[in-house]
Amino acid sequence: MRPATRRRHSRLKWVADLIDEERMEWKMNILQQNFAPVDVEEILKIKLYSSSEDIIVWHYERSDIFSIKSAYKVALNMSTHETHASSNENKDGACLWQHIWKGNVPPKVGMFAWPLARDALPTNKNKKARNILKDDTCNICGMESKSTYHAVVACPHSRSLLEIMRTDWPVPDGTLLQLSGPD
Protein backbone atom coordinates (compact mmCIF):
# COMPACT_ATOMS: atom_id res chain seq x y z
CA MET A 1 0.00 0.00 0.00
CA ARG A 2 2.92 2.31 -0.64
CA PRO A 3 3.56 4.24 -3.84
CA ALA A 4 5.55 2.26 -6.38
CA THR A 5 7.71 5.26 -7.25
CA ARG A 6 8.37 8.71 -5.87
CA ARG A 7 8.18 11.61 -8.26
CA ARG A 8 9.93 14.15 -6.08
CA HIS A 9 10.24 15.21 -2.47
CA SER A 10 6.83 16.31 -1.23
CA ARG A 11 5.75 18.49 1.66
CA LEU A 12 2.41 16.68 1.86
CA LYS A 13 1.86 15.22 5.29
CA TRP A 14 -1.75 14.02 5.34
CA VAL A 15 -3.96 12.08 2.96
CA ALA A 16 -6.58 14.79 3.53
CA ASP A 17 -4.28 17.15 1.56
CA LEU A 18 -5.04 15.03 -1.52
CA ILE A 19 -8.82 15.26 -1.18
CA ASP A 20 -11.23 18.02 -2.21
CA GLU A 21 -13.56 17.74 0.78
CA GLU A 22 -16.33 19.89 -0.73
CA ARG A 23 -16.77 17.65 -3.77
CA MET A 24 -15.47 14.48 -2.07
CA GLU A 25 -13.05 13.64 -4.85
CA TRP A 26 -9.32 13.32 -5.28
CA LYS A 27 -7.34 16.45 -6.23
CA MET A 28 -6.02 15.24 -9.57
CA ASN A 29 -3.46 18.01 -10.01
CA ILE A 30 -1.81 17.28 -6.65
CA LEU A 31 -1.87 13.52 -7.28
CA GLN A 32 -0.22 13.96 -10.68
CA GLN A 33 2.42 16.31 -9.26
CA ASN A 34 3.40 13.95 -6.44
CA PHE A 35 2.87 10.42 -7.77
CA ALA A 36 3.72 8.37 -10.83
CA PRO A 37 0.79 7.56 -13.16
CA VAL A 38 0.66 3.94 -11.96
CA ASP A 39 0.27 5.14 -8.36
CA VAL A 40 -2.33 7.76 -9.32
CA GLU A 41 -4.35 5.00 -10.96
CA GLU A 42 -4.27 2.93 -7.73
CA ILE A 43 -5.07 5.91 -5.51
CA LEU A 44 -8.14 6.73 -7.62
CA LYS A 45 -9.49 3.24 -6.86
CA ILE A 46 -9.71 4.09 -3.15
CA LYS A 47 -13.27 4.94 -2.13
CA LEU A 48 -13.83 8.30 -0.49
CA TYR A 49 -16.43 8.58 2.24
CA SER A 50 -18.35 11.75 2.98
CA SER A 51 -18.25 11.17 6.72
CA SER A 52 -16.50 13.86 8.73
CA GLU A 53 -15.11 11.22 11.09
CA ASP A 54 -12.31 8.86 10.23
CA ILE A 55 -13.28 5.24 9.76
CA ILE A 56 -11.19 2.11 9.87
CA VAL A 57 -11.16 0.01 6.73
CA TRP A 58 -9.45 -3.29 5.89
CA HIS A 59 -8.14 -2.81 2.38
CA TYR A 60 -7.62 -6.54 1.82
CA GLU A 61 -11.39 -7.13 1.57
CA ARG A 62 -13.83 -5.66 -0.94
CA SER A 63 -16.23 -4.95 1.91
CA ASP A 64 -13.47 -3.04 3.79
CA ILE A 65 -14.40 -5.07 6.89
CA PHE A 66 -11.73 -6.93 8.88
CA SER A 67 -12.22 -10.61 9.62
CA ILE A 68 -10.00 -13.30 11.08
CA LYS A 69 -10.47 -15.25 7.86
CA SER A 70 -9.16 -12.40 5.69
CA ALA A 71 -6.25 -11.79 8.08
CA TYR A 72 -5.40 -15.47 7.82
CA LYS A 73 -5.44 -15.25 4.01
CA VAL A 74 -3.12 -12.23 4.10
CA ALA A 75 -0.73 -14.00 6.48
CA LEU A 76 -0.83 -17.11 4.32
CA ASN A 77 0.03 -15.12 1.21
CA MET A 78 2.88 -13.36 3.00
CA SER A 79 4.46 -16.56 4.21
CA THR A 80 7.40 -17.89 2.23
CA HIS A 81 5.98 -21.38 2.01
CA GLU A 82 2.44 -20.38 1.15
CA THR A 83 1.51 -23.44 -0.86
CA HIS A 84 2.87 -26.14 1.43
CA ALA A 85 2.42 -24.61 4.86
CA SER A 86 -1.33 -24.84 4.86
CA SER A 87 -2.38 -27.32 2.24
CA ASN A 88 -2.64 -30.40 4.54
CA GLU A 89 -4.80 -32.35 2.13
CA ASN A 90 -7.03 -35.00 3.58
CA LYS A 91 -8.26 -38.20 1.90
CA ASP A 92 -10.90 -36.30 -0.08
CA GLY A 93 -8.22 -33.98 -1.52
CA ALA A 94 -9.79 -30.97 0.20
CA CYS A 95 -7.58 -28.68 2.26
CA LEU A 96 -7.98 -28.92 6.01
CA TRP A 97 -7.84 -25.17 6.46
CA GLN A 98 -10.72 -24.69 4.01
CA HIS A 99 -12.92 -26.95 6.12
CA ILE A 100 -12.02 -25.04 9.26
CA TRP A 101 -12.44 -21.50 7.91
CA LYS A 102 -15.56 -22.25 5.87
CA GLY A 103 -17.26 -23.90 8.84
CA ASN A 104 -20.37 -22.25 10.20
CA VAL A 105 -18.77 -21.53 13.58
CA PRO A 106 -17.76 -18.38 15.46
CA PRO A 107 -14.27 -17.07 14.53
CA LYS A 108 -12.85 -17.97 17.94
CA VAL A 109 -13.80 -21.61 17.35
CA GLY A 110 -11.89 -21.53 14.06
CA MET A 111 -8.95 -19.91 15.82
CA PHE A 112 -8.91 -22.83 18.27
CA ALA A 113 -9.62 -25.51 15.66
CA TRP A 114 -6.67 -24.54 13.49
CA PRO A 115 -3.87 -25.21 16.04
CA LEU A 116 -5.89 -28.18 17.30
CA ALA A 117 -5.94 -29.74 13.83
CA ARG A 118 -2.26 -28.91 13.25
CA ASP A 119 -1.25 -30.43 16.62
CA ALA A 120 0.13 -27.03 17.58
CA LEU A 121 -1.55 -26.54 20.95
CA PRO A 122 0.89 -25.92 23.82
CA THR A 123 0.43 -29.40 25.27
CA ASN A 124 2.98 -31.04 27.53
CA LYS A 125 3.94 -33.40 24.70
CA ASN A 126 4.66 -30.48 22.35
CA LYS A 127 6.51 -28.60 25.10
CA LYS A 128 8.66 -31.66 25.79
CA ALA A 129 9.46 -31.97 22.08
CA ARG A 130 10.75 -28.37 22.21
CA ASN A 131 12.74 -29.05 25.40
CA ILE A 132 10.55 -26.75 27.48
CA LEU A 133 9.40 -29.56 29.81
CA LYS A 134 11.11 -32.77 30.87
CA ASP A 135 7.92 -34.70 31.61
CA ASP A 136 4.92 -34.74 29.27
CA THR A 137 2.46 -36.39 31.66
CA CYS A 138 -0.95 -34.74 31.90
CA ASN A 139 -1.03 -32.30 34.84
CA ILE A 140 -4.75 -32.87 35.36
CA CYS A 141 -5.19 -36.65 35.37
CA GLY A 142 -1.55 -37.79 35.63
CA MET A 143 -2.40 -40.90 33.60
CA GLU A 144 -0.63 -40.49 30.27
CA SER A 145 1.21 -38.12 27.95
CA LYS A 146 -0.73 -34.89 27.45
CA SER A 147 -0.99 -34.84 23.67
CA THR A 148 -3.49 -32.72 21.76
CA TYR A 149 -5.86 -35.68 21.50
CA HIS A 150 -5.51 -36.45 25.20
CA ALA A 151 -6.12 -32.83 26.21
CA VAL A 152 -9.29 -32.48 24.14
CA VAL A 153 -10.79 -35.99 24.03
CA ALA A 154 -9.04 -38.75 25.98
CA CYS A 155 -8.41 -37.20 29.40
CA PRO A 156 -11.14 -38.21 31.87
CA HIS A 157 -11.73 -34.53 32.65
CA SER A 158 -12.13 -33.76 28.93
CA ARG A 159 -14.60 -36.63 28.59
CA SER A 160 -16.61 -35.26 31.52
CA LEU A 161 -16.68 -31.81 29.92
CA LEU A 162 -17.80 -33.28 26.59
CA GLU A 163 -20.63 -35.14 28.35
CA ILE A 164 -21.83 -31.93 30.00
CA MET A 165 -21.59 -30.07 26.67
CA ARG A 166 -23.77 -32.73 24.98
CA THR A 167 -26.72 -31.62 27.10
CA ASP A 168 -26.79 -28.26 25.27
CA TRP A 169 -24.92 -28.80 21.99
CA PRO A 170 -24.69 -31.55 19.37
CA VAL A 171 -21.18 -32.73 20.32
CA PRO A 172 -20.30 -35.96 18.48
CA ASP A 173 -20.29 -39.21 20.43
CA GLY A 174 -16.93 -40.31 21.83
CA THR A 175 -16.75 -43.18 19.33
CA LEU A 176 -16.59 -40.62 16.50
CA LEU A 177 -13.80 -38.65 18.18
CA GLN A 178 -11.01 -41.12 17.46
CA LEU A 179 -7.43 -40.26 16.62
CA SER A 180 -7.19 -41.42 13.01
CA GLY A 181 -4.25 -39.42 11.68
CA PRO A 182 -2.93 -35.90 11.42
CA ASP A 183 -6.31 -34.41 10.39
Q: pLDDT tens-digit profile of 158-180? A: 889 988 988 888 888 777 777 76
Residue 46 confidence (pLDDT): 84
Quote the pTM value.
Answer: 0.46
Q: How far out from the chain centre does Cα 117 lie?
A: 15
Spans of all domains in the chain: 1-55, 121-183
Is residue 70 within 8 Å of 76, Cβ to Cβ?
no
Mean pLDDT, the chain, rounded, equals 79
For residue 97, which of 78, 80, 84, 106 has the smallest C-alpha distance? Answer: 84
What would the pLDDT profile of 117-151 be if each residue is shown by its tens digit? 888 889 999 899 888 889 999 988 988 888 888 88
Per-residue exposure over 119-134, b if at least 16 CB sit within 10 Å of its own CB, e if not: eebebbbbebeeeebe
Cα separation, 63 vs 72, whole angstroms: 16
What would the pLDDT profile of 71-118 be if each residue is shown by its tens digit? 888 888 776 444 444 445 555 445 777 777 777 878 888 888 888 888
